[in-house]
Amino acid sequence: MSTMIIEDLGRTVIGRWHSRLTHSGSVRRNHWQTKMVYFRSAARLLADRPAQELTWKTVVAGARPRGCRSTFYEVAGGRARHRMVDDLIVDGGTDSIQIALRYLRTNPVEQLIDETKVWSFWPYRQQLLTGGLHAGLTPEQMEDKLADALISWAQGNAGLAGALHHSPPACAVEDLIVVRRGRLTATLAASRLSEVIRSAEQAG
């Protein structure tokens, strides 16, 4: 069972989305590089101000080396290319659709923040998959390991982690559903991980 869980964590929908954009041809890699310009801007701004103060203009103004309206809307908003949520919808699985419905935003800045959380949490996730999980762990122990990784991320990225009512990175929600073998809905998984983030915030 544990071996199957680890294998499934290696081929999640969001994992495939991330891999496709970071390891594919130059066009997709360039698009990912553009995304990262705005991810970094959003993360920097959220370190200093509440999420509700962010607008596309402040995110563009904070982009380095420079941003512009047209490239912002290439990576955020309803017409953005290669949106994470679109891959979940196309997958069509019950869990994927539930996650997509939770993270389907009408506000482009909020959509950007969701993807920024995934981008920022990804190194913690990779470390977990390569060293923190092994076949000898129970699903409960795997959930604890995931929570520990989320706490470490939240403590190092407090502004980003607290944004959008402490919404967890979508990839962590998907991972928890995989770990619990579908016994948690996306709503319950996200709620459980939001509490983990709040606890990390309170612990300082």
Give the tens place of pLDDT for each residue, 126-142: 999 998 888 788 989 99
Integer Cα distance of 64 and 106 in angstroms: 25
Q: Is the pLDDT of residue 110 over 90?
A: yes
Report d(CA 62, CA 50) in Å as an integer: 15
Confidence of residue 25 (pLDDT cuts 50, 70, 90): low
Question: What are the structural domain ranges in the chain?
Answer: 2-203
CA distances, 163 to each of 73, 78, 93, 120, 147 (Å): 20, 20, 27, 13, 18
Asked whether 97 and 104 are in contact (CB, 8 A), the reply is no
Task: Please give the pLDDT value at position 204.
Answer: 66
CA 102 to CA 49: how far, in whole Å? 24
Whether the per-residue pLDDT at 40 is higher than 70: the answer is yes
- Residue 45 makes CB contacts below 8 A (sequence gap 6+) with 54, 58, 59, 62
**Looking at residues 178-183, what average pLDDT do you find?**
89
Task: Tell me what pLDDT residue 66 has.
Answer: 84
For residue 139, whether the previous peptide bond is cis, meaning omega lies within 30 degrees of 0, is: no
Tokens 């699985």 correspond to: 93
The pLDDT, as a whole number, for residue 171 is 98
**Cα gap 45→32, rounded to integer Å:** 20
* Nearest by Cα to 1 from 180, 189, 172, 128: 180
Q: Provide the phi-psi class of 76: left if phi over 0, else alpha when psi is between -120 and 50, else beta.
A: beta
pLDDT for the residue 49: 81
> Would you say residue 1 has pLDDT above 80?
no
- pLDDT tens per residue across span 70-106: 999 999 998 999 999 999 999 999 999 999 999 999 9
